[in-house]
Structure 1
């Protein structure tokens, strides 16, 4: 049971969102957040920490041009209707961010946003949706994830979390894990797994590199992989097997 404690504590804290408040906005052509109670929010300072981590560890995914973020549903919620994301801050600072068809977007570096103590705000309830780093090497099929991409995604997510959770918890987790590198820690003989979202419910996931493979744990639309296991290189691939869509004929 003690082996699971650090991983459980870490997962619980990373799943917790910030509790910032959002001022009402009345402009007709801007994101409407005043009617949304507890929207999904990240401080711009925390997002900058994620961008810095992406640049620092870019060698893990050298073919990924920039860090992007993605809107993901929580707890079985469907994809959001008319999602909008922007940076807003003091003195009526507003910077809309462009979303692609997959609900992904990038966040620019902006001294103005930093000076305005900006926040990245999604016009959807935090209860149902969240904003998450998304690192994907171009050219891979939709059901394939590269291990180096997942490692870099983890590092950016942790960098953001460290800026948003209280310093007490950062120091506590560092002590529990005996390292500041939350993505690559080991606990005695155990190699903790990190969970990642897939784009659809799963029936299986396999980690492959060269002539060897390993069956990974799956749970609904999530799969788990031990990022700290250095016996697997960054170019190892996770192949996901999606469950058939309801009403689809069996293969």
Structure 2
């Protein structure tokens, strides 16, 4: 006798995951020298991925899924699993983890990401239903948030990417064009609070999260993104900002601030740019920014300036 499987609402749909694989094949021109995997990342502070296991489970089928050391995996296509509308089930609460597509092109320098890969990750991830924001909170939103092309092709799409380590900055490189991502492109926009974090895929990965400009076609697919990490060696400080107290005295209250579970904290100050700029497509008046990184004791570790 076979006991039919009853799916938990937060399990991942095998049909949707295969649709994501189909989307990868359809848009492979974004990353023609790439491979596709899927990856698990922790979402809750209590989640440990060691020993995590996955199975594709339907009414009459159960297929183990091999997991790599980085908690990435591939899925084989099984018609029976599709026919039974099987689910991808973990031996942890599915909602306790963040799921992402992982597209990697050959030849990308170590520690960098290629923009075409990130564009394809977004399309695959949205098609596969991998974004795991709380359904009850976001149920009122329009179908736009489930439309891969709209999410990945809009500056308001807000598809989060994650760096390997806590970020201090990220910079785009395309030929002679070099541009640092603004503060609002890091840390899920730099606006998360303890009340909103439980509804974000970035809950325990906030300091690693960033928004790549995948919607901006002025950056070609071969654009590379380099990262500066929080724990990298500190540099010389501008005068008067050696600590949080000194920065507050010299510069006033920051325009934005974000504190992380690690104890690190970042502050952003805004000021008029060296050369006046017209408002951007989003209507914002471009501003220059100074970002400071503090350790848990309030000491300033590093800074960066960015002109629009």
Per the normalisation by structure 1, the TM-score is 0.70
* Change in 2 beyond 3 A, CA 1:99/1:51: same
- Residue 204 of structure 1 corresponds to 169
- The Cα of 1:185 is off from its aligned counterpart by 2.5
User: Within 1, Cα distance between the matches of 2:40 and 2:226?
Assistant: 22
Any stretches of 5+ residues in structure 1 without a counterpart? 1-21, 25-37
- Residue 172 of structure 1 corresponds to 142
**Contact 1:193 1:226 (C-alpha < 8 Å) held by counterparts:** no
**Contact 2:152 2:215 (C-alpha < 8 Å) held by counterparts:** yes
User: Within 2, Cα distance between the matches of 1:143 and 1:197?
Assistant: 12
* Change in 2 beyond 3 A, CA 1:76/1:239: farther
User: Within 1, Cα distance between the matches of 2:148 and 2:52?
Assistant: 38
SS in 1 for 2:82: helix
Superposition map of 1:56-71 within 5 A: 56-65=26-35, 67-71=36-40
Give CA-to-partner distance per residue, 1:211-237, whole Å, 9 cap, x none. Answer: 111211322111112211110000001
Per the normalisation by structure 2, the TM-score is 0.58
- The Cα of 1:77 is off from its aligned counterpart by 5.1
- Residue 230 of structure 2 corresponds to 243
- Residue 124 of structure 1 corresponds to 92
User: Within 1, Cα distance between the matches of 2:10 and 2:165?
Assistant: 22
**Contact 1:46 1:159 (C-alpha < 8 Å) held by counterparts:** yes
Aligned length: 206
SS in 2 for 1:182: helix
User: Within 1, Cα distance between the matches of 2:64 and 2:217?
Assistant: 40
- The Cα of 1:119 is off from its aligned counterpart by 0.7
Give CA-to-partner distance per residue, 1:28-52, whole Å, 9 cap, x none. Answer: xxxxxxxxxx796211111111011
Any stretches of 5+ residues in structure 2 without a counterpart? 188-206, 236-308
- Residue 214 of structure 1 corresponds to 179
Question: Of 85, 104, 124, which aligns to 2:72?
Answer: 104
